[in-house]
Amino acid sequence: MRTIGVIPARFESSRFPGKPLADILGRPMIWWVYQQCLKVEELDRVIVATDDPRIGEACGGYGMDWLMTSKDCA
């Protein structure tokens, strides 16, 4: 059995819109989260699930696995 870690990354947060793309030491916050998840030995794969193409572009630019979800996805 494979174990996949999914990182939810919404752009339209009520408290901090665009948070996954916030710059932290020259990289977007989502990059740092993804890198930490890669360290979890029990995970076979890590994927960012986003509802915004800007986050998808950032993930793709850094070679991170990602997929587009509906804005209605809970």
Q: Write down the pTM of the prediction.
A: 0.91
Closest to 19 in 3D by CA, of 32, 27, 28: 28
Confidence of residue 38 (pLDDT cuts 50, 70, 90): very high
pLDDT of residue 74: 64
What is the Cα 59 distance to its own chain's centre?
A: 7
Mean pLDDT, rounded, for 16-42: 97
What is the Cα 16 distance to its own chain's centre?
A: 15
pLDDT of residue 51: 93
Strands (DSSP E) found in 1-74: 4-9, 23-24, 27-28, 45-50, 66-68
pLDDT of residue 14: 85
